[in-house]
Each structure stands twice: as C-alpha cells, then as structure tokens.
Amino acid sequence: MDPFGELSPGRSLPPGLKQRFPDRVLVMTTDRCFGVCPHCTRKFILGRSPVVDSPERLSACVGYVKRHPKVRDVLLSGGDVLALPDPAVARFVEAFAELGQIEVVRICTRAPVSNPSRITARLARLLARVGRGKVWANVHVNTAGEARIAREAAARLVGCGIPVSSQTVLLRGVNDTPRKMLALLRALSAARIRPYYVFQCDPVEGLQERFGVPLARAREIEAYCAERIGGLALPRFVADLPGARRKTPLDLL
C-alpha cells in the first residue's frame, strides 16, 4: 500500500518533505487532486501523509534544502500543486527558486488534462516571473486524446518559457498496444510536450492485477516506437522500484 515508504521515511525530514535520491526532494504541497487516478501510486496514503500546509512547514523544508547543498531539483507534488490557488503556488515556487543551489523547480500536475482551464495565461506568467527561469512543468498524459486536450494549456506554459514534459503510465486496456503508444507520443510532440518516461505500473496493491502490462509486451511497444519516431519524441520505458537508486530501464528487468 506504501511501496516507497512515504508514510515512514525512516529518518528525520520536515513534515511533507520526501527524499529518495541525493540531488532532489519532493514536497507534498497538498493532498487534493483534480480527480482520482485509479492507478495512483499514493492512492492509499493521500490524507494520511503530512503536507506542507503552513508557512512554518514551508520554512522547515527550505531550511532542510539549504542544509543539503547536493539538492538541486525540487518537485512540487502531492496531490496536485495546481489544486492550490495561484498565490499559494507562487509561494512554493518562489521559496525554492530563490535558492542559488536550486536549478530546477518542477510543477507536477495533471491539470492540463483534468482541468486545462486551470492553466491560465496569468498563472503561466506568474510561474515564469517567480520561478527565475527554473520552472518546468511535469504533466501526466496517458492517451493521444488526453494529449490533444492538454495542447492549449501546454502552449500557454511554453509561451512563457516553461518547458513541459510528460510522464505516462503503461496501462492494460488503455495504451498497451504499439499503435496507441505511438499515437500518444506523436500527439505529445505536436502539443510541444516532450515525452519523458513511460512507467510500468508501480507495485501498489491491486494495480498490477488491474492495469499491469507484461514485461515482454512493454518491450515490444518500446521497440515498435523506437523504430518509428525520432529521439526527441521517444521516452525512456522504465520501472520505479522500491530501493532502486535509479529508474530502472526495461532491459535491466
């Protein structure tokens, strides 16, 4: 139910801060989302895991990052950070972007698909201003149809100098054929959303039984796409495994 130990991080971290890798941290900004993804990694822990819901908690997270100069990348996640109002989003972005050691502040969101009107021109300009050129948007897109829905929202972000990348989950019955995956990658490229990762389902209770795609099938899909699309539009097909020091490529599984 909690394969990555987020309810019990095992060492002293400020409430709402997660760290699995030395160069990046994840900030649980909220436990709210625009919808409930049935394949969500955190489906059993949202509402039970602390979030950074006060100035004091945000200050504690910033202080932790300052004390750990190897950290260069901050993920603003949850829940969905864009479920918060604009001023709250700006406070999170600015608090970390103003640190000299930080090179990247990631907005991790499903909004361009689930609520594209949330990505207003005003929000895009705000993120560009307070983010000091460090903001990236990581979206979660699983089908070509979702990519087309996200296109206008992505254009507003890209137009303000904010790169947009997509993480996809390989899901049985959704995008688990070579043609469906290729259509998704092409639709993402057309929307100026760079495909980033295609994940095997995380090892969360019930997910593999409902959505899991056999490894041989995943490799077939990866090879099919690699033979038909350029590197700019070709994501890495990986699994996120508890205890691993990296995202694990399919050929190492």
What does the alpha-carbon distance between residue 181 and residue 233 come to, in Å, rounded to a whole number?
A: 11
Superfamily of domain 17-252: Aldolase class I (3.20.20.70)
Of 91, 98, 101, give the one whose Cα is nearest residue 55.
91
Residues 6+ apart with CB under 8 A from 98: 132
Beta bridge partners of 167: 140, 197
Which stretches of the chain score pLDDT less than 70?
Answer: 1-11, 42-45, 47, 203-204
pLDDT at 9: 58
pLDDT at 159: 98
What does the alpha-carbon distance between residue 107 and residue 82 come to, in Å, rounded to a whole number?
A: 8
Residues 82/51, Cβ–Cβ less than 8 Å? no
pLDDT at 88: 98
pLDDT at 194: 97
- Judged on CB neighbours under 10 Å (0-12, 13-18, 19+), 35 is exposed
**Whole-structure pTM value:** 0.91
- Judged on CB neighbours under 10 Å (0-12, 13-18, 19+), 252 is exposed
pLDDT at 44: 63
What does the alpha-carbon distance between residue 226 and residue 181 come to, in Å, rounded to a whole number?
A: 11
